[in-house]
Chains A and B, each alone.
Chain A
Amino acid sequence: DIVMTQSPDSLAVSLGERATINCKSSQSILYSSNNKNYLAWYQQKPGQPPKLLIYWASTRESGVPDRFSGSGSATDFTLTISSLQAEDVAVYYCHQSYSTPYTFGQGTKLEIK
């Protein structure tokens, strides 16, 4: 099984500042046939289902603000929020759909400092 490990587990950032969340997979999730990383990022607020932010490691879902960006390849990935807004308080998960069993990171709780 591919293990997804996020860091940190929690993060407090001031409004307007940058927030960075890391995700490491235990093996490469880069498909050689199309050179795509099957890594997505989700945002989850209390009482709501996860919301897709990023797929293919760096492609922003339609309607997601451009302060959210994803980067990385193979085993190391990063979600960056360039200027934190109050509505960004949530838990963030990375997810691999490269192979089953699909797996998620343990989540990173983002709060306002």
Chain B
Amino acid sequence: EVQLVESGGDLVKPGGSLRLSCAASGFGFSYAWLSWVRQAPGKGLEWIGLIKSKTDGGTTDYAAPVAGRFAISRDDSTHTLYLQMNSLKTEDAAVYYCVFFGSFGEGYWGQGTLVTVSS
């Protein structure tokens, strides 16, 4: 069974930084392309980026609103995905989900972690 558990959400001031983690189990983590998706309060779903498997180059791809401020990384030895968020803005406040999109496009989601950006 695929399990994804996010952590690290917190209250942070505008301009601050935060790192989220996602502990994964139940699938071939090392071969998986992994994404982060966020959902602002009362709003829809927004994909913010992904990291490919190392066998596929390990490269990252980001949505325009976070490119240059956010960075996704992975530790295949511990089956952990990370999201480093810098220069946070009030509009980055959201629940952040770790998502494994399989080869059929099917998505497996964690429960999410809440990031609040406020002074």
- A to B contact number (C-beta, < 8 Å): 57
- Choose one: A36, A52, A98; the contact of B107 (CB below 8 Å): A52
By a CB distance below 8 angstroms, the chain A residues around B112 are 49
Using an 8 Å CB-CB cutoff, how does the interface string of B87-119 with A read, 1 for contact, 0 for none? 000000000010001001111111110000000
Chain A residues with Cβ below 8 Å from B64 are 101
* Nearest CB in chain B to that of A104: its residue: B45
- Within 8 Å by CB of B109, from A38, A50, A98, A101, lies A50
**How far in angstroms is the closest Cβ of chain B from A107?**
5
**How many residues of chain B have a CB within 8 Å of chain A?**
20
Q: Are A102 and B44 in contact (CB under 8 A)?
A: no
Does B47 lie within 8 Å of A55, measured CB to CB?
no
- Is chain B's interface secondary structure helix, strand, loop, or mixed overall? strand
Chain A positions 66-113 with a Cβ under 8 Å from a chain B Cβ: 93, 95, 97-98, 100-107
Which bracket fits the contact residues of A? 20 to 34
Please tell me if A39 contacts chain B, counting CB pairs below 8 Å: yes
Measured CB to CB, the closest approach of chain A to B23, in angstroms, equals 15
How far is it, in angstroms, between the C-alpha of A56 and the C-alpha of B104 when the chains are bound? 6
A52 touches B108 (CB 8 A): yes
Bound complex: CA of A40 vs CA of B101, how far in Å? 10
B113: min CB distance to chain A, Å: 11
Known: A49-B110, A49-B111. A102 touches B47 (CB 8 A): yes
Q: Give the interface of A toward B (CB within 8 A).
A: 36, 38-40, 42, 49-52, 55-56, 59, 61, 93, 95, 97-98, 100-107
5 further A-B contacts with Cβ under 8 Å, apart from A50-B107, A100-B50, are A40-B105, A42-B107, A56-B105, A101-B64, A104-B45
